[in-house]
Amino acid sequence: MDSERSRRAVLRTTGLAVATGAAGCLSPGSLVGQSRIDEEGRPPSETATAQFRGGIRRRGVFPAATVPEAVEVAWSVPEVNTGEHTAAKASAVSLPGGDVVVPGDDGAVRRVAPDGTVAWTERITDATRGIHGTPAVANGAVYIGAYDGALSALDVETGERFWRVDLADAIGSSPAYRDGTVYIAVEYSTPSGAMFGLDAVTGEVTWEDQRPTDHPHSTCAIDREAGRIVVGSNDGNIYAWSYPGLESQWSFETDRPIKGPVAVADGSAFFGSWDSYVYRVALADGREEWSFETGHLVMSGPAVEPATGTVYVGSHDNRLYALDIETGERRWAFRGGARFMGCPTVTRDHVVAGCDDGNCYALAKADGEEAWRVEAGGDVSSTPLVTDDGVYFADRATEAYLSDGDGRSGHVYKAVAAE
């Protein structure tokens, strides 16, 4: 235990030194100039330009977004996901003007234009498994963690790195940005884990809690109204802290790991567990409000739509479910050809979700009827991004590619209205 504490201390000290050194040499037009104080003396923006699942509540619902009646692939960028680790990864986020930022398990972050042109590529790690999280974009910076345990801030215009902080042995989760602070779950090899808050400008650690006792691969959610920040862990627990006070509040135990992201709505946390259940738990005290049993483990993160009273979530039982938000009762279930590992995205009329059968599906919200599917070359485990001009999604490399390099590597795709 003493050696583990020492290792964590070394990681934090090294990370702080790297972050401070990088920030110290930034130019006036850099992150410090953009983010700390602008020309009128205003502090950093409270909210981000883009975050995983649309914001810190991680609901995955975009009520104004629509999808075409039929789609076809306009282009794809290869060599994004080239590893064998079966996790949901390489989910894109959109930028003003139409570009997207895409991470990959090859260890690189890319900015891609609407026509498929790659504006820049920045490799932030050579670690096995590369990047699995989805970036947060705020104040001109792209924040992303990697499987080398470091959190980095990149210039959104050029990809140049502002700072890098070594926090742990691995980061598989996605960062959350709020009011000048970046929150991230990290993993140690023991196995154990922690939650960190970092100054978005300098990378300085402003908060940490070492409570999680196993790898927290899950992505945290923040509910400002309920005053909570919550995250799941491989130890089967979801942990809660006060927000913004960041004091420990409660933990709720399931029988197996909580791998997927947590969503918050109506004073509750919604999440799936590898014990095959989807849960609704009260944010105030960690009390279970309902649970729904699927036919297999749940790694997908729920999409929660209070306006229609519906929770949408996938399972390894090859089904995507629509559940009643108040009772957890099933409204409908769509059966794909393989497991639904990634998170669904909810638009005005449809639920869009990737499946390990190699397809990205659009389903009618009302009854789960298939509207269309678009085929990829591998398992579609990313969270689809729906924009005004298309649907972005990514797949993982095929077994043939992994065995001899002669098959199809993982791509990021853009699907547009079929002609």
What pLDDT digit, counting tens, does each position of 279-329 carry?
999 999 999 999 999 999 999 999 999 999 999 999 999 999 999 999 999
Which range among 83-92, 116-125, 404-413 shows the weakest confidence by mean pLDDT?
A: 83-92
Q: Is the pLDDT of residue 3 over 50?
A: no
pLDDT for 88 equals 62
Give the separation between CA 363 and CA 372, rounded to whole angstroms.
7
Residue 315 token pair: 């399972």
Tokens of 309: 């009273």
Query: What number does CATH give the domain 2-417?
Result: 2.130.10.10
Q: What is the 3-state secondary structure (H, E, C) of 296-355?
A: CCCCCCCEEECCCCEEEEECCCCEEEEEECCCCCEEEEEECCCCCCCCCEECCCEEEEEC
Res 28 pLDDT > 70: no
The string of pLDDT tens digits covering residues 276-293 is 999 999 999 999 999 999
Range in 229-233, 377-381, 402-406 with the lowest mean pLDDT: 402-406
pLDDT at 284: 98
Residue 13: band (very low, low, confident or very high) from pLDDT cuts 50, 70, 90: very low
The whole-number average pLDDT for the span 164-185 is 95
Most confident listed range (32-36, 186-190, 281-285, 399-403) = 281-285
User: Residue 22 has what pLDDT?
Assistant: 40
For 295-325, letters b (16+ CB in 10 Å) and e give eebbbbbbbbbeeeebbbbbbbbbbbbbbeb
Residue with the larger pLDDT of the pair 179 and 191: 179
Instruction: Give the contacts of 10 (CB within 8 A, at least 6 positions apart).
Output: none
CA angle 308, 309, 312 (to 5 degrees): 95
d(CA 159, CA 174) in angstroms, rounded, equals 18
Task: Give yes or no for residue 7 having a pLDDT over 90.
Answer: no
The pLDDT of residue 45 is 77
Give ∠ CA 337-338-344 in degrees, rounded to 5: 100
More confident residue, 192 or 65: 65
pLDDT at 189 over 80: yes
Predicted confidence (pLDDT) at residue 25 exceeds the cutoff of 60: no
Task: Assess whether pLDDT exceeds 70 at residue 214.
Answer: yes
Distance CA 341, CA 393 (A): 13
Amino acid, res. 28: P
What are 330-348's pLDDT values in tens digits?
A: 999 999 999 999 999 999 9
To the nearest whole number, what is the mean pLDDT of the chain?
88
Q: What is the mean pLDDT of residues 208-229?
A: 91
Work out the pLDDT band at 259, boundaries 50, 70, 90: very high
Mean pLDDT score, 242-255: 97
Question: Residue 215: what pLDDT?
Answer: 76
Position 86 confidence tier, pLDDT thresholds 50, 70, 90: low
Q: Residue holding tokens 């919604």? A: 270
Quick check: 11 pLDDT over 70? no
pLDDT reported for residue 9: 52
Burial class (CB in 10 A: 0-12, 13-18, 19+), 246: middle
Are 345 and 303 a contacting pair, CB within 8 Å?
yes
Flag whether pLDDT at 17 surpasses 90: no
Structure confidence at residue 37 (pLDDT):
41
Torsion angle (degrees, nearest 10) of CA 304, 207, 105, 237: -50
What pLDDT is recorded for position 145?
Answer: 96
Q: Is the pLDDT of residue 38 over 50?
A: no
Q: Is the pLDDT of residue 72 over 90?
A: yes
Nearest to 86, CA basis, from 418, 410, 328: 410
Radius of gyration of the chain (CA): 20
